Amino acid sequence: MTEPIQIALVTGASRGLGLVIARVLAKRGYSLVIGGRDGEALDRATDELKKDAPAVVAVAGDVTDAQVRTTMIDAARQLGGLSVLVNNASELGPIGPLATFDVPRFGRLFPVNVGAPMFLVQLARPLLTARRGLIVNVTSDAATGAYPGWGPYGATKAALELLTRTLATELEADGVSAVLVDPGDMRTRMHQEAFPGEDISDRPLPEVTEPFWKWLLDQNPHDVRGQRFAAQKKDAPWLQPA
């Protein structure tokens, strides 16, 4: 019997870490649904990924938009299902002390970094259950590091971490696994926005995480359920205390 084509959905995949993850998946023969706010960048990513992936469906738009999320899940369903959901899209927000933070900004950060991943998990659950799939939520050391200026962003990632560990327990009966991945400090546009005008060329490019993603895709999702990984380590084990 022919094995079904593996299918993955990656948010924030037009550039940076999301595109690196999508590349690894494409080279593994996954069909892809990719999302991103920058339509032109998403088109370029699509053209590149089509060289390896059996199929690529790009959905441009903000992941906080319910219609965008529904379109992505519908696209995965039309491709045949969903094996891997990667919630990579996130928003940094302003860097600065909590004492002067514009508290209403939480109304943007939490919907992007926490709400959207949970909505996508809910929508994707039947597809992931059918394939005993894997949810990958991208986190940050800011979730536990208490770095000055990074409090609001770190708070969203701390919330995502707790919810992911809870999902790993709640979805076990469905055969669905959930993991956390901290990609580490990287040379990305989002990180540059945190340090405007500063030279961040000493940070590694997101490609440094490729060995980890290759390793993760080789694992049985059941064996990694609920775990937290540091993707920049040179080699296994990538596991970190949750």
User: Looking at the annotation, which residues are catalytic?
Assistant: 153
The answer to whether 46 and 56 are in contact (CB under 8 A) is yes
Alpha carbons 213 and 22: distance in angstroms, whole number: 10
The distance of Cα 227 from the centroid of its chain, to the nearest Å, equals: 15
Q: What six digits make up the tokens of 59?
A: 């959905």
Taking each continuous run of H as one helix and of E as one strand, the counts in the chain are 10, 8
3-state helix, strand, coil in the chain (%, to 5): 50, 15, 35
Render the burial of 204-229: b for 16+ CB within 10 Å, e for the rest: eebebbebbbebbbeeebeebbbbbb
Q: What six digits make up the tokens of 93?
A: 């927000």
